[in-house]
Amino acid sequence: MEAIDAQHVQESGLVVFDITAADEETAALVMASLEQRWATSGITAARRTPGEPGVRARIYADTRRRGTRP
């Protein structure tokens, strides 16, 4: 994953979540939950790193804006 830079968190309320989970389904569930609460960059693909356990994903969120609550 690329480095987090000043643009990603330039204002109060902007956050970057790096998610590590056992599997893709769990990572997607976490990202969907965040998406319901806040405006996010959406559900992204989870990546595996050879030799490391689990999967990793990143999501950007704006905690000042509501998400897509059902």
Task: Enumerate the domain spans of the chain.
Answer: 6-66
What are the pLDDT digits (tens) for 13-62? 889 999 999 999 999 999 999 999 999 999 989 999 999 999 999 999 99
Q: Identity (one letter) of the amino acid at 35?
A: E
Per the model's pLDDT, the better-predicted residue between 44 and 5 turns out to be 44
Give the confidence band of 68 by pLDDT, cuts at 50, 70, 90: confident
Residues in the chain: 70
- Tokens 């905690």 correspond to 63
CA dihedral over 2, 44, 58, 27, signed as positive or negative: negative
